[in-house]
Amino acid sequence: MVRRTLLHTALRAWVIQCWWRSMQAKMLEQRRRLALRLYTCQEWAVVKVQAQVRMWQARRRFLQARQAACIIQSYWRWHTSQTRGLIRGRYEVKASRLELDIEILVT
């Protein structure tokens, strides 16, 4: 009788221990998954911030280059408008005044 009672008690303790170990394993797995999820969220946030900063830097460089191109184009257009045309003219000196007749031809 005592042996049977001890056997039943040992089996019940063994069942409780197995249940407790499985619960601990489940809780450890849940903690591991939560930690992994938090890590991936943080990494994703860092990647997003880096992408935004790089986009802002690239846009700033693009706008600076575009502004420089506009300035260069305006100066070039002014220069070509000043030097592109052929200036033909004739002049006569009559008495004490100068009469000019200038034609500007743009080709």
- Token representation of residue 45: 């946030």
Q: Are the CB atoms for 105 and 85 separated by under 8 Å?
A: yes
pLDDT bin (cut points 50, 70, 90) of residue 80 is confident
Amino acid at 81: S
Instruction: State whether the Cα torsion 24-25-26-28 is positive or negative.
Output: positive
> In sequence order, what are the beta bridge partners of 94?
97
* pLDDT tens for each residue of 17-36: 999 999 999 999 999 999 99
* pLDDT tens for each residue of 35-46: 999 999 999 999
More confident residue, 31 or 2: 31
Separation CA 92–CA 88 (nearest Å): 14
* pLDDT tens for each residue of 47-72: 999 999 999 999 999 999 999 999 99
